[in-house]
Amino acid sequence: MSSTVANAMITSVAARAESASKIYGSGDNEVRALDDVSVTFERGKYSAIMGPSGSGKSTLMHCIAGLDSLTSGQVFIGDTDLSSLNDKALTKLRREQVGFIFQSFNLIPTLNAYENIVLPLSLGGKPGDEAWIKQVIDTISLHDRLDHRPSELSGGQQQRVAVARALASQPEIIFADEPTGNLDSKSGTEILKFLRRAVTNLGQTIVMVTHDPVSASYADRIVFLADGRIAGEMTQPTPEKVLDYLKHLGE
């Protein structure tokens, strides 16, 4: 049993952190945003990260995604140790193996929706997998808006484009930091459903930071953070279970 688990871990880990610590400032101003965090995100799974404000969720995500560096510890995307990469290699890795969805300001205002979707591919000078891109666009159902600029799209549509962009290069893993934070509940639900579908139907790996128990319940598994440490985990979450756990965590 243990050997099969270990095996599965080796083959199906999309990203992981080992004893990751991140310290901001020094002396009296020292803030331990991450304190010896070890966590693994499985391939083909939808994970959520939850925790109180300031608990280090965004920091963890940024460090695993190669946007920021750790003070100590290691992070891996697939089998690649990020600390061994220089800026150029890191950029290439972000372009090819990582997808991003931020809370807002996800799109380049001078590019239209389609250009935004294929941006990481264009930056790498690659045409990308046409059939895949078509499938992604089908999934977010934005055919009639592809030549529109972001300013001509609603917030929900903009987030859908951002989801498509994250998917377009078939990355190893997609990170989403409160992707529905700025949306009304209808658009938000739509985005969450797209993400769910991307995992279930298209086989993608997603890690999503959220404050909302309902959003988190779309995930396969939730990792709880508090004060820069892993505070717990939950699989097959429901909104009620999550709410309950959070209450418990707050005490």
Asked if residue 99 lies in contact with residue 167, where contact means CB atoms within 8 angstroms, the answer is yes
| Binding status of residue 55 toward Mg ion by CB under 5 A | no
What is the Cα–Cα distance from 170 to 135, expressed in whole angstroms?
Answer: 12
| Binding status of residue 36 toward another protein by CB under 8 A | no
> CB under 8 Å to 214, separation ≥6 — which residues?
239
Task: Annotate 64-80 with DSSP letters as a single string.
Answer: HTTSS--SEEEEEETTE
At its nearest, how many Å lie between ligand ATP and the CB of residue 51? Answer: 6
Q: What share of the chain is helix, strand, coil (3-state, %, to 5)?
A: 45, 25, 30
| Binding status of residue 31 toward ligand ATP by CB under 6 A | yes
Least Cα distance to 212 among 222, 203, 202, 197 occurs for: 222
Query: Which of 13, 41, 46, 55 touches ligand ATP by CB under 6 A?
Result: 55
Nearer to another protein, 4 or 29 (CB): 29
| Binding status of residue 62 toward another protein by CB under 8 A | yes
Which of another protein, Mg ion, ligand ATP, none sits in contact with 68, Cβ below 5 to 8 A by type? another protein
Contact positions vs Mg ion (CB under 5 A): 58
Contact positions vs another protein (CB under 8 A): 58, 62, 67-68, 87-88, 91-92, 94-96, 100, 102, 105-111, 115, 119-120, 122-125, 151, 165
